[in-house]
Structure 1
Amino acid sequence: MKLSVWGAAQQVTGSMSLLQTEGYNILIDCGLDYEKGTYLDENQHFPFDPSNIDVVILTHAHIDHSGNLPTLIRMGFEGQILCTPPTADLSELLLLDSVNIFLSKQKKKSQGRKKRSGPAPLYLQKHVMETVDRFVTIGFNKTFQINGNITLTFVPIGHLLGAAAVILSITEHGITKKIAFTGDIGRKNYPVLPDPMPLPPVDYLVCESTYGGRLHSTGTTIEQKLIETITETCIKNPGRLIIPAFSIGRTQSLVFTLNQIFSKGLLPPVQIFVDSPLANYATDVYRKYHELVSDEAKAFYQLKGDEFEFENLTYTHDQKESKSISNYLEPCIIISSAGMLEGGRIQDHLYYNIQNYYCTILFIGFCAKGTLGDRLLRGDPIVRLRNRDLMVYAAIKQTDLLSGHGDHNDLMETVRQQPVEQLKQVFLVHGETKSMFAFADALKQKGYQVAIPERGETFEL
């Protein structure tokens, strides 16, 4: 059995690992790589023949794990894609949204003075629908027989509705070995989602390391942080609180937390706009799979009703409704995507409010280097929007209390569930090198054997 790491190797995005057993090839995740060059250069050429892949296993729907599946199919993959039911539904939404982003980039490039056509989309809607047709859904904690020698079990890992760690049991030459892929590990007590479940003992573990060496903020809760920020921006002052949030996962957790705050009467009423069609569709998926949300969310539903609906909360549906928010003159909260400010309706709200002294922009998620969100967080005094250079007068704030990733302690706990004497090797992926080495050092001190694969590096298991 051979393991080759072809994505998220000493970086965060582009998750993709190839597991080769006797006569059978398994691809775990097939995500978009954002971090080098253009999306075309890095994602349209695979380092293996897609037609030789027998099956794909998808840990969760986020685009850095699912986003290159249509390309894989376009280039010859003919097998099934195994995932949980919510992952299938959420992936369809995200992949269709990716097509829109590709087309919008092409349109922008085409509007130059020489009217040259922009880059061709990586894939189109028809490729997404072909991908959706390949999904085979499997529930949590159910053993699925992939073939005569390989079984699969999905274990809930938090992070996002439907997200799973992958447990594979593989028999070769009469010897059975178990290998686990964590996907992205969630954190405990996260709004809407249940805590990650412990993983069973395995022989090999491929583990994410996003927050290696880093701890989440302590001493306050997300409720307290939101109350403090809303009070300062919208109650003491007649301002606007703009919260860039990823449409799938982050927005639902934020809305539920705001529902809890206002239903308890901890703040006077404030108008809230959720300005993201994708978030609206994703929230319906959360309602569809309500049995998979946290016990806290279920209890709230029994007592108060829908976690994602409450007084003074408005979901916009079309561009006209979105633009009308600019004409709302009372203090308000605007939740919009994309979380890193690289596209979507959030840019409209920034354009009209970035020079507003009474506006606060609160980041609740990670912003990759070079993105507009990153430039604001590092304190750039001028940003460019709609071909205009605008002074930044709005207050820029950030909190990691709604990060969907477990921190260093959560990562350590996941690995330490594994007996040192049984776990032969830990492979670290999905993290910046600084985080990976900090996590690796901590694991080695506990007696674990750790490898940090380079892209394309292959290991005999």
Structure 2
Amino acid sequence: MKLTIHGAARQVTGSMHLLELDHYKILVDCGLDYEKGTWQEENALFPFDPAEIDVVLLTHAHIDHSGNLPTLVRMGFEGQILCTGPTADLSELLLLDSVNVFLSRERRHSKRKRGNSGPKPLYLQKHVMDTVQRFVTIGFNKPFRLNGDVEVTFIPAGHLLGAAFIVLRVQDRGEEKTIAFTGDVGRKNYPVLNDPAMIPPVNYLVSESTYGGRFHSKDKTLTKMLTEVINEACIKNPGRLIIPAFSIGRTQALVYSLNKIFTNGLLPPVKVYVDSPLAALATDVFRKHHHLVNQEAQEFYRREGDEFEFENLVYVQDMKESRELANYFEPGIIISSAGMLEGGRIQDHLFYNIQNYYCTILFIGYCAKGTLGHRLLRGDSVVHIRDRELAVYATIRQTDLLSGHGDHSDLVNTITHQDPAKLRRIFLVHGETQSMQLLQEDLFDRGYRVEIPEKGQVFEL
């Protein structure tokens, strides 16, 4: 049995791992790699023949895990893509949205270069629909036999609705071997989502390491933090609170948290706008798979009704309504994508509010270096938005209480559930180098054998 780490090696994005058996090849995740300036071109080629892959196993829908599946299909993959039901539904939304991103990027490049075409889209809507046809959904905790030698089980991972740890039981030349892939590890007590389950004992573990060496804040609850920020931004000072949020996962967690605050009378009513068509579609997926949300959300639903609807909450329908928000001067909250401020309707809201002393911008997620969100968080006094240099007068705030990733303690807790005497090797992926090294050091001290693979590195298991 041979494992090759083809993506998210010593970096965060582009998860893609190839497991090769005799006459059978399994690809775990097929995500977009955003790490280089030429990322679109970089993702156009695979280090293997897509036609030779027998099956793809998908941990969850986020684009750094699913986003290059249509390219794989376009280049000859003809097998099935196995995942949970919510992952299939959310992936379809995100992949179709990626097509819009590609086309928009091409148009912007052509406009800047006066008609010279930019990078061609990696794939089009047709390729997404061809990909969706290959999805086969598997329930949680239900072993599924891929062939006579391989059995796969999807274990709840938290992090996102439908996200799974993938556990493979393999008969390899007369010996049984087990290997698990974490995808992304969720955190406990996250709004709407169940806690991550424990991975059963395995021989090999491929684990993410995004928050290695970092710990989430514990000095305040999410409810207390949001209540304080809204009170300061919209009630004490009748201004505007803008929250950049990823449309799938983060927005639903935030809306539910706001619902609890206003339903329980912790604050006077404030108008809340969700300005993201993708978020509205994703919320319908959460409703469709409501049996998979956590017990607290289900009880709230039975007691109060839909956790993603409440008085004064408005899902903005089109660009006309979105633009009209610029002329709305009452105190209010605007939730819009994208979370790092790179494109999307959020840039319009920033354009009109970044110089507003009565505006607060609350970041609830990670912002990669080089993004507009990162520049605001580091304290830049002037930023470039929509071809203009604008002074930053708005208040900038940040919290990690809505991060969907488990922190160092969560990662260690997930991994150390394994017996170090039986777990032969851990492979750390999906993290910055320093995060991987800090997690590796901690695991070394606990008696585990830990590798930090390079991209393309091959391991005989």
Aligned to 2:455: 455
Deviation at 1:64, TM superposition (A): 0.2
Aligned to 2:91: 91
Instruction: Quote the Cα distance in structure 1 between the aligned partners of 2:290 and 2:386.
Output: 40
Larger mean Cα displacement after TM superposition, 34-43 or 426-435: 34-43
Aligned to 1:35: 35
Aligned to 2:199: 199
Moved beyond 2 Å, runs of 4+: none
Instruction: Quote the Cα distance in structure 1 between the aligned partners of 2:446 and 2:420.
Output: 8
Letter in 2 for 1:319: M
Instruction: Quote the Cα distance in structure 2 between the aligned partners of 1:385 and 1:368.
Output: 17
Instruction: Quote the Cα distance in structure 2 between the aligned partners of 1:439 and 1:431.
Output: 10
Matched, 1:166 2:156: no
Larger mean Cα displacement after TM superposition, 158-167 or 317-326: 317-326
Aligned to 1:138: 138
- The percentage of counterpart residues that share the same residue type is 68
Deviation at 1:118, TM superposition (A): 2.0
1:17-56, aligned counterparts within 5 Å?
Answer: 17-56=17-56
Cα deviation digits, residues 56-103 of structure 1 (max 9, x gap): 000000000000000111111111100000000000000000000111
Matched, 1:436 2:436: yes
Contact 2:41 2:119 (8 Å CA) reproduced? no
Q: What is the DSSP-based 3-state SS (H/G/I as helix, E as strand, rest coil) of the residue aligned with 1:274?
A: strand
Deviation at 1:113, TM superposition (A): 5.7
Q: Structure 2 length normalisation: TM-score?
A: 0.99
Q: What is the DSSP-based 3-state SS (H/G/I as helix, E as strand, rest coil) of the residue aligned with 1:48?
A: coil
Q: What is the DSSP-based 3-state SS (H/G/I as helix, E as strand, rest coil) of the residue aligned with 1:258?
A: helix
Aligned to 1:152: 152
Aligned to 2:405: 405
Instruction: Quote the Cα distance in structure 2 between the aligned partners of 1:281 and 1:209.
Output: 30
Letter in 2 for 1:105: R
Aligned to 1:355: 355
Aligned to 2:326: 326
Deviation at 1:221, TM superposition (A): 0.8
Q: What is the DSSP-based 3-state SS (H/G/I as helix, E as strand, rest coil) of the residue aligned with 2:11?
A: coil
Aligned to 1:423: 423
Instruction: Quote the Cα distance in structure 2 between the aligned partners of 1:88 and 1:176.
Output: 30
Aligned to 2:210: 210
Letter in 2 for 1:366: Y
1:229-240, aligned counterparts within 5 Å?
Answer: 229-240=229-240
Q: What is the DSSP-based 3-state SS (H/G/I as helix, E as strand, rest coil) of the residue aligned with 2:18?
A: strand
Letter in 1 for 2:359: C
Deviation at 1:120, TM superposition (A): 0.9
Instruction: Quote the Cα distance in structure 1 between the aligned partners of 2:234 and 2:206.
Output: 45
Deviation at 1:326, TM superposition (A): 1.2
Q: What is the DSSP-based 3-state SS (H/G/I as helix, E as strand, rest coil) of the residue aligned with 1:419?
A: coil
Deviation at 1:294, TM superposition (A): 0.3
Letter in 2 for 1:331: P
Instruction: Quote the Cα distance in structure 1 between the aligned partners of 2:39 and 2:281.
Output: 26
Aligned to 1:223: 223
Deviation at 1:114, TM superposition (A): 2.6
Aligned to 1:112: 112
Deviation at 1:33, TM superposition (A): 0.4
Instruction: Quote the Cα distance in structure 2 between the aligned partners of 1:380 and 1:76.
Output: 46
1:234-253, aligned counterparts within 5 Å?
Answer: 234-253=234-253
Instruction: Quote the Cα distance in structure 2 between the aligned partners of 1:117 and 1:419.
Output: 55
Larger mean Cα displacement after TM superposition, 168-177 or 247-256: 168-177
Instruction: Quote the Cα distance in structure 1 between the aligned partners of 2:20 and 2:290.
Output: 36
Letter in 2 for 1:205: L
Instruction: Quote the Cα distance in structure 1 between the aligned partners of 2:394 and 2:354.
Output: 5
Instruction: Quote the Cα distance in structure 1 between the aligned partners of 2:98 and 2:367.
Output: 18
1:292-303, aligned counterparts within 5 Å?
Answer: 292-303=292-303
Larger mean Cα displacement after TM superposition, 324-333 or 243-252: 324-333
1:65-76, aligned counterparts within 5 Å?
Answer: 65-76=65-76
Deviation at 1:110, TM superposition (A): 1.5
Deviation at 1:375, TM superposition (A): 0.8
Instruction: Quote the Cα distance in structure 1 between the aligned partners of 2:326 and 2:390.
Output: 17
Instruction: Quote the Cα distance in structure 2 between the aligned partners of 1:18 and 1:249.
Output: 27
Aligned to 1:389: 389
Instruction: Quote the Cα distance in structure 2 between the aligned partners of 1:441 and 1:369.
Output: 25
Instruction: Quote the Cα distance in structure 2 between the aligned partners of 1:154 and 1:49.
Output: 26
Cα deviation digits, residues 219-253 of structure 1 (max 9, x gap): 10111111111011100111100000000000000
Instruction: Quote the Cα distance in structure 1 between the aligned partners of 2:193 and 2:230.
Output: 24
Instruction: Quote the Cα distance in structure 2 between the aligned partners of 1:38 and 1:234.
Output: 41
Instruction: Quote the Cα distance in structure 2 between the aligned partners of 1:2 and 1:453.
Output: 14
Cα deviation digits, residues 313-369 of structure 1 (max 9, x gap): 000111111111112110000000000000110000000000001100000000111
Aligned to 2:128: 128
1:361-376, aligned counterparts within 5 Å?
Answer: 361-376=361-376
Instruction: Quote the Cα distance in structure 2 between the aligned partners of 1:152 and 1:182.
Output: 13
Instruction: Quote the Cα distance in structure 2 between the aligned partners of 1:132 and 1:79.
Output: 12
Q: Structure 1 length normalisation: TM-score?
A: 0.99
Instruction: Quote the Cα distance in structure 2 between the aligned partners of 1:253 and 1:241.
Output: 17
Q: What is the DSSP-based 3-state SS (H/G/I as helix, E as strand, rest coil) of the residue aligned with 1:435?
A: helix
Letter in 1 for 2:294: S
Q: What is the DSSP-based 3-state SS (H/G/I as helix, E as strand, rest coil) of the residue aligned with 1:227?
A: helix
How many residue pairs get matched? 461
Larger mean Cα displacement after TM superposition, 47-56 or 155-164: 47-56
Deviation at 1:111, TM superposition (A): 1.4
Contact 2:27 2:57 (8 Å CA) reproduced? yes
Cα deviation digits, residues 290-316 of structure 1 (max 9, x gap): 000000000100110000000000001
Q: What is the DSSP-based 3-state SS (H/G/I as helix, E as strand, rest coil) of the residue aligned with 2:197?
A: coil
Instruction: Quote the Cα distance in structure 2 between the aligned partners of 1:269 and 1:171.
Output: 59
Instruction: Quote the Cα distance in structure 1 between the aligned partners of 2:306 and 2:4.
Output: 44
Deviation at 1:46, TM superposition (A): 0.6
Deviation at 1:386, TM superposition (A): 1.4
Q: What is the DSSP-based 3-state SS (H/G/I as helix, E as strand, rest coil) of the residue aligned with 1:98?
A: helix
